[in-house]
């Protein structure tokens, strides 16, 4: 973090590598986010190159926080559900540090970053108890927050529900691929949420991911027990959470 309370966050996703300077007092970006298309295949070296390009474009020379759509433990990616499998076992922290001239980097799971951001600045900011953020995108990401503390790498998108992984049943990409209507998709989401809430009993579920922009078309259709509220930070949550993780000790 810089002395002025600004930090740089980068959100690495299947289609874009997005980054910006974040004002940590407000959780807002200080400029339009910079986006570079995720290289295909999204191998570690190719993505590290895109990250270096993005940081150079931003002319940022301080520490950088980054998200990956992977379980991240001690800076190492441990899974790769919707990204090149070459990430599994990669020391992402060292890889990015090397690509960024040896500067300090922090790496965490993308949904965990979004959960931190929504918990501090967004939909869950005034809530106590157990909050669950789910991101509906290519897959389903999850972040469990208890009174402001993140329980990292929860990976609830891989919970098996009625014989299939939750994200294979109810990710936003599945809605598109199978051309489901909102009522059809909401029924699947309700099934997934029903299983999750029976196991974890969160006080509230925050729905994130691009499809949360259309929340009025599907959140009212959900039939599960726990209140579901839309995320507030939308497409900046990952960037903001990545920036928050720098120096904070919250990245696993």
Q: How far is the CB of 3 from ligand BGC (least distance, A)?
A: 32
Query: Distance between CA 117 and CA 135 in Å, rounded?
Result: 13
Number of H helices, E strands in the chain: 7, 15
Given the complex with ligand BGC, which of 23 and 165 has the nearer CB atom?
A: 165
CB 160, CB 167: distance < 8 Å = no
Peptide bond into 102 cis (omega under 30): no
Q: How far is the CB of 110 from ligand BGC (least distance, A)?
A: 5
Query: Distance between CA 235 and CA 32 in Å, rounded?
Result: 12
Residues binding ligand BGC (CB under 6 A): 69-71, 79, 81-82, 109-111, 135, 137, 139, 141, 155, 157, 167
Given the complex with ligand BGC, which of 20 and 110 has the nearer CB atom?
A: 110
Given the complex with ligand BGC, which of 141 and 202 has the nearer CB atom?
A: 141
Q: How far is the CB of 156 from ligand BGC (least distance, A)?
A: 9
Q: How far is the CB of 12 from ligand BGC (least distance, A)?
A: 10
Given the complex with ligand BGC, which of 65 and 141 has the nearer CB atom?
A: 141
- Those residues whose C-beta lies under 8 Å from the C-beta of residue 167, and which sit 6 or more positions away, are 81, 139, 140, 157, 158, 174
Q: How far is the CB of 112 from ligand BGC (least distance, A)?
A: 7
Given the complex with ligand BGC, which of 154 and 226 has the nearer CB atom?
A: 154
- Those residues whose C-beta lies under 8 Å from the C-beta of residue 54, and which sit 6 or more positions away, are 10, 17, 19, 34, 36
């Amino acid at each position: 973090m810089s002395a002025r309370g600004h930090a740089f966050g980068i959100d690495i996703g299947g289609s874009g590598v997005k980054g910006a300077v974040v004002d940590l007092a407000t959780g807002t970006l200080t400029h339009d986010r910079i986006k570079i298309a995720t290289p295909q295949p999204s191998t570690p070296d190719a993505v590290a190159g895109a990250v270096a390009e993005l940081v150079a474009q931003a002319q940022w020379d301080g520490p950088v926080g980054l998200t990956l759509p992977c379980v991240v433990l001690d800076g190492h990616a441990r899974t790769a559900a919707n990204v090149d499998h070459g990430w599994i076992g990669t020391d992402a922290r060292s890889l990015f540090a090397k690509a960024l001239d040896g500067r300090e980097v922090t790496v965490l799971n993308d949904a965990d970053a979004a959960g931190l951001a929504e918990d501090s600045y967004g939909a869950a900011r005034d809530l106590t108890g157990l909050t669950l953020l789910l991101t509906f995108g290519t897959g389903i990401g999850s972040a469990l927050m208890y009174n402001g503390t993140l329980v990292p790498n929860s990976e609830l998108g891989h919970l098996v529900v009625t014989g299939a992984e939750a994200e294979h049943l109810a990710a936003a990409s599945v809605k598109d691929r199978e051309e489901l209507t909102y009522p059809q998709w909401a029924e699947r989401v309700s099934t997934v949420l029903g299983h999750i809430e029976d196991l974890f009993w969160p006080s509230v579920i925050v729905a994130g991911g691009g499809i949360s922009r259309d929340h009025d078309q599907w959140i009212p259709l959900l039939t599960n027990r726990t209140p579901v509220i839309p995320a507030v930070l939308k497409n900046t949550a990952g960037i903001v959470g990545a920036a928050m993780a720098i120096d904070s000790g919250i990245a696993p």
